[in-house]
Amino acid sequence: MVVDTDALAHEGVELVLGQTTTIGVRSRELTAAALALVPTEQPDRPEVSDVLEVAHASLMHVDLPHERLAVASRVLTSARAGGDRELEARALLMRGSDRLALGRFADGWSDYAAARELALTQGQPIVDVIVRYAEVLRPLAEGRPDDAEQLLAQVVALHRRTTIVSADVLEPLFQLNVDLVYGGPTRWARAERLVDLMPAGPLDELRALVLQRTGRAADVPGLLGDWADQRPLDDDFLWLYTTAYRAEVWAGLGDLEAAAALRDRLLPYRGLPVWVGTGVGLAGFTDHYLGLLARTLGELDEAVAQLEAARDQAAGEGMAAFEVLTTHEIARTLARRGRPGDAAEATRLAAEAATRASRIGLVLPR
């Protein structure tokens, strides 16, 4: 019997866009079946790269970054073996996004730079636009919000000159990312307007987060309801991002049941950045949110350890904005723990966070 690997892979990618656990499992099964049938001895065959590209898209599950990276590397091998420069640019984009999702920032940005260079020489505006959007996240993380917004304006202008869709979606999404990180009355007011433009459901946690940060935490329960009534989040490329913000919201509400459940869900991703897809969002590091949950649960030693891990990760990557935000939370946690020496260290860290936040134009959460 002849098995159509391309059909299997396409069915998998269609199913990964579904909404149920059963569909997600079937997507994984179909993708694995397609990959098992792809020959490895002739990597330059066009049908091989076609199946691999579709399989990579269907592996957009939060727990499969290593599997995606392996497939991306096979696509890159196929492209280079066949001398297909356009495919090589797409493969570098795929591999770069997977490396970034795994926290391999230097390697990921290097792949993105190579992908963009190839895209410009090959006339591939989609790859160019995708990389330019992702590059907005670098100054955002590094404490340069004005540069981030300038790059965003440039890529949106470029995007609108192409036939590529979704500029009207990506522009507010990126602006919202900047506003949520840097805060302040003007940014929070704009963030509230931006979330009102977005569909209800998947981004309700962002609405709740804006309410909390604008001093209206009392309105959050009315928006979200009880923890028991919360819908499961789709198993897709947004899962870690939305779960991280869900964790911050429910930690802020002091809900112990929610905090315990969310910690269990996030623990497998400890040490990873909260990176979205090809670079449409970045919210620091998972350990930051695990620290907030541990603090809500009263596990203050664990909270301090996880927050310190997140701070050190951010510092190691030169991500000043996330380093400052996490330092602020360490200070709050030490003040709450109250061991000998904690009060003095909390005061020192709070002052350090406030000084550095002011320097980069960031308003610390209340």
pLDDT digits (tens, 9 = 90+) for 285-317: 999 999 999 999 999 999 999 999 999 999 999
Helix (H) / strand (E) element for 281: namely: strand 281-285
| Inside any domain, residue 59 | yes
| Inside any domain, residue 71 | yes
Domain residues for the domain of 1 are 1-120
Q: Which of 29-43, 126-140, 176-190 has the lowest mean pLDDT?
A: 29-43
| Inside any domain, residue 341 | no
| Inside any domain, residue 269 | no
Query: What pLDDT score was predicted for residue 24?
Result: 53
In the predicted model, is pLDDT for residue 269 greater than 90?
A: yes
Split at pLDDT 50, 70, 90, the class of 5 is very low
| Inside any domain, residue 51 | yes
Q: Which amino acid is located at 268 in the chain? A: P
Q: Coil, strand, or helix at residue 272?
A: coil
CB 286 within 8 A of CB 271: yes
Angle between helices 204-213 and 185-196 (to 10 degrees): 160
Domain count, the chain: 1
CB 141 within 8 A of CB 322: yes
pTM of structure: 0.89
Query: What pLDDT score was predicted for residue 43?
Result: 53
At CA 274, angle to CA 237 and CA 186, rounded to 5?
A: 105
Place of tokens 């269907």: 58
| Inside any domain, residue 65 | yes
Residues β-bridged to residue 273:
285
| Inside any domain, residue 17 | yes
Split at pLDDT 50, 70, 90, the class of 3 is very low
Residues with Cβ within 8 Å of 348's Cβ and at least 6 positions away in sequence, in order, are none
CATH number at residue 26: 1.25.40.10
| Inside any domain, residue 282 | no
